[in-house]
Structure 1
Amino acid sequence: MTALLEAIEQALDHWDRQPFAPEPLAQLRTLRRQLAEQWLATPDAAMATQWETGRAAQAALWDCNLRYEALTPEERQWLEPIERELAATWPAPRLQAVWAIALYQRAETWLPDLHGLQLPPWAIEPFFDYCLAFPCFFRELGEVDRYANFTIALVDYLHEQIFRYPQSAQWQKIALTFSNLVNLVPLYFCDRNLRSTFAKRAAILEFSLRLAGHQLEYDFVPRSPDRPKIRLGILKTNYLSHPETFTTFPVFEWLDRDRFEVILYVIDRDPDLLNAYQQRRSGDAIVPLVGDLKQQVARIRQDDLDLLLVATIVTNSLHRVLMIGAHRLARVQIHSVSSPVTSGMTHMDYYLSGQLTETATAAAHYQEKLLCVSGPAHCFDYSLEAAEPRLVIDRASVGIPEGAIAFVSGANLYKTIPEQRETWAKLLAQFPDSYLLLCPFGASWKRNYPKVQFWRRLRETLAAHGVNPDRAIVFDQLPSRADVKAVLQLADIYLDSFPFGGANSIVDAIEVGLPVVARESDWFRSRQGAAILRDVDLGDWVARSEADYLALAGRLAADPTLRQSIRHHLTQALAQPPRCLDSRAYAAEVSQQLMRALERWQGDRVE
């Protein structure tokens, strides 16, 4: 296995340096086949030992972008007897066959119901590592729903078994494994209510923390009548130049300091925007959280907080803010737009959102109670951002002919699921002289994107609709938001993604005066961009179906006068400014919501 691992690593290095060359990809396919055949030839008695020597090679192939390449016809044919064997022997499969097929296919493509599955103890962690693998790119129509169906069923099953057998050493180990590995972000891209799944995920995480000896519960005494101010904590990993940061400052910067005492708890201080913030607002305490988890929790509890806002995403993978935030740290705990779904966490009392973002039935989507400001959920403050664009480009330099219509989207690669790419291909087919500009490789999501696989699949989709693939122009990762806006300025119309729409990307578009077409459903994550459009009185450009989305984009593409009128409207709307960019007005509304939440806590204690 050592020699095979070295060969895999060399081939991966070659592929990384020459991602479009066929030779390293062909070599990796050959090495994958060799590893699979070694698994199939391993005797049962030797599997545990063989795994210890072969797991690094397996992980190298699991983690690389080979998993986003389509299988060749020869590979599909070779896998057929393995698939038949697994179907016939489930739920007591040979692990040799499991490890072999796992090199080629994601779990949801072949894995049957998990009930009754028999695994030796050494295989539990790698098996669930495989089942919970994070796909950041979906190739085919229907893959997102298939992934969602499998993952939701997996979480349901694990939750059921863990809490049916809480004293079982095996299920305790599975709970810990799940907690260390789970990342359900790809569920954002399905069009359904995710409350139950994220609540069960949170319950397993909390169970695991208790197993590790952490005391999540804490009883706060009634507030002292002598305390003149509401003590508000903000818990955040860092204050880097990131969308989370620009939606966090508006929550607290302009709160009335005669009413609020603000304490900023931060894990990582270097480098960040807090130094610039302190020059503008010097009175807030900044508390770096050091030490282990118990020490960090104790440090926050020491401050006897009235309110705590958890301002870092807690619905992705396990990280320190998520673990801290699972504890009772304040009388009232609040989460907000950094996570586009419910946290599901026991000690998260409220979700801070907006009336323009939520529907009348939105309470059913959250484990938390809703606090809603009157406008959109998001408010952005980019005033501390100092980046200047590095790109010097124009339409001619990127290959857009004079007179052509240019659509653009800043949606991340994750959000551009196959169904979205199909919609865009239909739009380009409808307007033969149009182009599509994409900026899908944002630094805030991932560093090692499957760029080549995305680019090739996009071109295949366009070609299938009779569109010249060269009419799609894909930009590599751009240095800053300013450079993204430089690309947006080349275009005529901005296209939002669905079902996970944009928020900061919509603000980028309207700030450069672009007409925007969005599509919404019933969930926060599909309505955040639509809410911003309604905030600037452009709600007529929000679709509820693919047909409406195409029709709205078509109207804009066919009518330059209409596009110009929207640009003029945006100039006037941004001069006011709208609520999504008015930090002072937003803070005034947040202040009222925070005080009401604390009053409810006090009222509940009296009762």
Structure 2
Amino acid sequence: MTGAWAVLAGDTPCGFAGRVVGYRRAARVALEGEVKGAKGLLAHEFFADYGRNLRSGFTAFADLDAAEVAAAARVREMLCDLAESGSDTADLDADEQRCLLMRGMLLLPNWQVPLPQEPQRLPEDVLERWVHWASLPPFLGRAGEDLAWVAHVARLLDWIADGLDATQSADLDARDAALRRRLLRLLSGLDLGQLLLVDAPLNAVQRARNRVLEHVALRSGTPRSAVRALPVKGVDFPVSEPQKQRIGILCRTFEKGPDSEAVVAFFRRFDPAHYEIYAYSVGFRDRVASRDPEFDTRFDNAITHRRELPGDPSGIRSQILADDLDVFLYANATTYGIQPMDIALYHRVAPVQAVLNSHVPMAMGYPSFDAVITGLSDDPAQEVAQEQHSETLIRVPGPVISYLTSFEPRKTPALSRADLGLLDTDIVMMNAGSSMKLRHESLRAMMRSVVDVPHAKLLLAPYNPGWAARSLAFAFNVQVAEVAAEVGLDPARIVILGELSVTEAEAALSCADIYLNPFPHGGATMTHLALIYGVPPVTLRRGSTRSIDQFLVSALGFEELLASDVEAYVALAQRLARDTALRTDTATRLKQAARNPVFVDSPQHSKAMQKALEHLVRNA
């Protein structure tokens, strides 16, 4: 409906939002009256599969009129009363509770509603729908919503942990046993992936998640108690003593792509006399992964063993423990929550464990992980803060990530400016990050960069099929319209592209003058592409592990493209847009430097990573 398969994405169909709002108002009024069959209505697919509505942008169509604002406040007050034990609202009969909950789902975001303190008092279907609604990831497109949702997630996880604490006795009555089963079912579908994208301290979330995992994580099997000793010159080892340390790394895929290239580049210069490498794959594929026999050979030359992991926690844990590892490295960012991988790996599988910031935007927060290997900022004031992490931060100078091969500009781009509705005289500022990366502050900064520059346009390619594809198109259109109105940017100066192939995305980038990196979660691949195409990537420094784009830019020697705060980010983008000579000179120097980038085919990178691991093992 939004034309996402076309090169240019279309607007939300005329009248669609108005009809949605009209139906919502009619439903709210109906639910305030006497409702027959409330139980069946609560079981209707609209409420039972409410996550689909949230993803499609139902709650993004806010537009509450005065009556709805008053109704929303009253519903929230009543749900708060119902959530508290012994309140007057608890005297509502079952159908009245069902109607109240449905009104709440129509009018309120789930993070504004508390969780029931005595869930056993509620009708089974009310409790089921309430906690399911509370667990769903909403669309977060407005100022302050990210922080509010993070606080809600911490409360939700603590609520689940409290329920599991209270129902762990062996002689539970039927209601408590049913509650425990419900909580465990809830965990199996819990999706907290948006936490990878928001800029907020996660200490409270991680503490609460660990409380839950103490109940459900597997403890089977015992890793070796200490790292194998490596041979030392002049010291004889018993024949039976293994003299290679086993390093395991969990990655997305073994197929050729940026992530798997980075895994091979990490290990390619590790000393084969001292280290035996085991790679584990979760079999994740996106649009940039492909089969490549030449890459397979390079993979096998650097990594001794491949292991395809099963999907169940027990199988995952058993497979990794069977390899008797000395060091385990986590380099898979496909999920975040209480997923099979978390259940399998919460408890230790090796004497030394670390997260690679090259692949994972945030620490695990598990007691079993000792360190996070991250970058060293060019600005000490923007360094990642140790106090926000339970793991030790090991800061390594340089780009943090390395690839085997550099991207090459395509000689015959698949798209031209005319194809994208752009003029040759336009100054095009582009972002190709998923719509999920375009948090409110980031999108606002991009629009502020454009609004005061004559002939400037904002080019967005938000429908990455490796992320949410076009599923958030309705909500994203609302977000774009609201932020544009907020900063005073004419929507005609915003061009939104549809779901693009890799070739089309690169072609679109070749039409841009400036690349605007998103924040807090940037992207190494698009930054790499911008550099080799000579499109200056304006990048925000930040004391966060959620992006490594800043390390790529600084490693290439272009600290001038780094800004230390949002105001400086906007000013830098505008300066490049207004000064043609500066922009041209920067682009020329970028292309020259990117011919031999330090983050491609770098033996020094692999040696630096080996030294970082040796330091970790010595100090673990």
Q: Same fold (TM over 0.5)?
A: yes
Higher mean C-alpha deviation, range 177-186 or range 84-93: 84-93
Structure 1 residues 389, 114: CA separation in 2 closer, same or farther (over 3 Å shift)? farther
Kept after mapping to 1: 8 A contact 2:21/2:63: no
In the aligned structure 1, how far is the partner of 2:506 from the partner of 2:144? 32
Partner Cα distance (1:387, 1:328) in 2: 44
Aligned partner of 1:364 in structure 2 is: 387
Match of 2:19 in 1: 26
State the secondary structure of the residue aligned to 1:103. Answer: helix
- CA separation of 1:300 and 1:26: change in aligned 2, threshold 3 A: same
| Match among 554, 558, 561 for residue 574 of structure 2 | 554
Distance 1:354 1:548 in 2: 22
Shift, 1:595, TM fit: 2.5
- Contact 1:82 1:101 (C-alpha < 8 Å) held by counterparts: yes
- Picking from 400, 414, 438, the partner of 1:377 is 400
Distance (Å, rounded) in 2 between the aligned partners of 1:202 and 1:272: 36
Per the alignment, do residues 508 and 63 of structure 1 end up closer, same or farther by CA in structure 2, a change over 3 Å counting? same
Please name the residue that 2:3 is paired with: none
CA distance in 2 between partners of 1:277 and 1:507 (Å):
20
Contact 1:229/1:261 (<8 A) preserved: yes
Q: Partner of 2:307 in structure 1?
A: 287
1:407 Cα offset (Å): 0.6
1:411 counterpart (419, 433, 445): 433
Secondary structure of 2:351's aligned partner? strand
Q: 1:21 to 1:151 in 2, by over 3 A?
A: same
Between stretches 291-300 and 256-265, larger displacement belongs to: 291-300
Distance verdict in 2 for CA 1:540–1:349, change over 3 Å: same
Q: 1:408, CA displacement in angstroms?
A: 0.7
Distance across 1 between alignment mates of 2:335 and 2:158: 17
Structure 1 residue aligned with 2:46 = 57
Q: Deviations over 1:572-600 (max 9, x none)?
A: 3223322x334422111111122233334
User: Match for 1:128 among 131, 156, 163?
Assistant: 131
- Amino acid aligned to 2:481: R
RMSD, aligned α-carbons: 3.7
For the structure 1 residues 21 and 559, does the alpha-carbon distance in structure 2 shift closer, same or farther, using more than 3 Å as the test? closer
Out of 208, 211, 214, the position equivalent to 1:200 is 208
1:234–1:84 distance in 2 versus 1, CA, 3 Å: closer
Deviation at 1:559, TM superposition (A): 0.9
Matched residue SS, 1:151: helix
Whole-angstrom CA distance in 2 between matches of 1:59 and 1:287: 38
Amino acid at match of 2:279: L
Specify whether residues 85 and 474 from structure 1 end up closer, same or farther in structure 2 by C-alpha distance, changes over 3 A only.
same
Superposition deviation, residue 455 in structure 1: 2.7
What amino acid is aligned across from residue 346 of structure 1 in structure 2? P
Identity of aligned residues (%): 20
Structure 1 residue 217: deviation in Å?
5.2
C-alpha separation between the residues in 2 aligned to 1:330 and 1:88? 48
TM-score w.r.t. length of structure 1: 0.82
Query: Structure 2-normalised TM-score?
Result: 0.81
Q: Tell me, what secondary structure is at the counterpart of 2:43? A: helix
1:71 positional shift:
3.3
Q: 1:290 to 1:208 in 2, by over 3 A?
A: closer
Residue in 1 that maps onto 2:514? 493
- In 1, distance between residues paired with 2:15 and 2:404? 46
Structure 1 residues 527-566: aligned runs within 5 Å: 528-566=548-586
Q: In the TM superposition, what is the alpha-carbon distance from 1:195 to its structure 2 partner?
A: 3.1
Q: 1:466 to 1:362 in 2, by over 3 A?
A: closer
Between 433-442 and 235-244, report the one with greater CA deviation: 235-244
Q: What secondary structure does 2:326 align onto?
A: strand
Offset, 1:26: 2.5
1:220 aligns with 2:232: no
CA distance in 1, matches of 2:282, 2:384: 36
Residue equivalent to 2:111:
108
Name the structure where helix makes up a greater proportion of residues. 1
Cα deviations across residues 168-196 of structure 1 (Å, max 9, x unaligned)?
85674465245323333333454332234
Cα 1:379–1:39 change in 2 (3 A) is farther
CA gap 1:421/1:313 in 2 versus in 1, 3 angstroms: closer
Give unpaired runs (5+ residues) of structure 2. Answer: 1-9, 90-96, 230-236
Give the Cα–Cα distance (whole angstroms) in 1 for the partners of residues 205 and 411 of structure 2.
41
**1:85 aligned onto 2:90:** no
d(CA) in 2 for partners of 1:559, 1:105 = 46
The SS at the match of 1:232 is strand
1:29 and 1:437 mapped to 2: Cα distance? 32
Distance change (3 Å), C-alpha of 1:586 and 1:22: same
Label 1:119 to 1:390 Cα distance change in 2 as closer, same or farther (>3 A): farther
How many residues in Structure 1 have an aligned counterpart in Structure 2? 573
Give the drift of 1:333: 1.9
- 1:586 counterpart = 2:605: yes
Distance in structure 2 (CA, Å) of the matches to 1:585 and 1:121? 60
Deviations 1:52-78 (A, max 9, x none): x71533134441314244134468268
Amino acid of the structure 2 residue aligned with 1:335? V
Bigger shift: residues 85-94 or 396-405:
85-94
Q: Is the 8 A contact 2:264 2:299 kept in 1?
A: no
Are the aligned partners of 1:233 and 1:309 in contact in 2 as well (CA < 8 Å)? Answer: yes
**What letter is aligned with 1:223?**
R
Check whether the contact 2:221–2:318 (CA below 8 A) recurs between aligned residues: no
Q: 1:165 to 1:260 in 2, by over 3 A?
A: same
Cα displacement string for residues 505-535 of structure 1 (whole angstroms, at most 9, x for unaligned residues): 222211211112122332112x522222211
| 8 Å Cα contact 1:236/1:310 also seen in 2 | yes
Alignment of 1:247 with 2:277, yes or no, is no
User: Hey, what does 2:62 align to over in structure 1?
Assistant: 71
Contact 2:399 2:555 in 1 (8 A): yes
CA contact (8 A) 1:495 1:518 kept: yes
Which has the higher relative contact order, 1 or 2, with Cα contacts under 8 A spaced 6 or more apart? 2
Q: Does 1:576 align with 2:591?
A: no
Summarize the Cα distance change of 1:263–1:85 in structure 2 as closer, same or farther, 3 Å threshold: closer
Number of the residue aligned with 2:456:
434
Quote the Cα distance in structure 2 between the aligned partners of 1:286 and 1:568. 42
Q: Following the alignment from structure 1 to structure 2, what is the Cα–Cα distance between the partners of residues 382 and 160? A: 50
Write the distance in 1 (CA, Å) between the matches of 2:273 and 2:248: 16
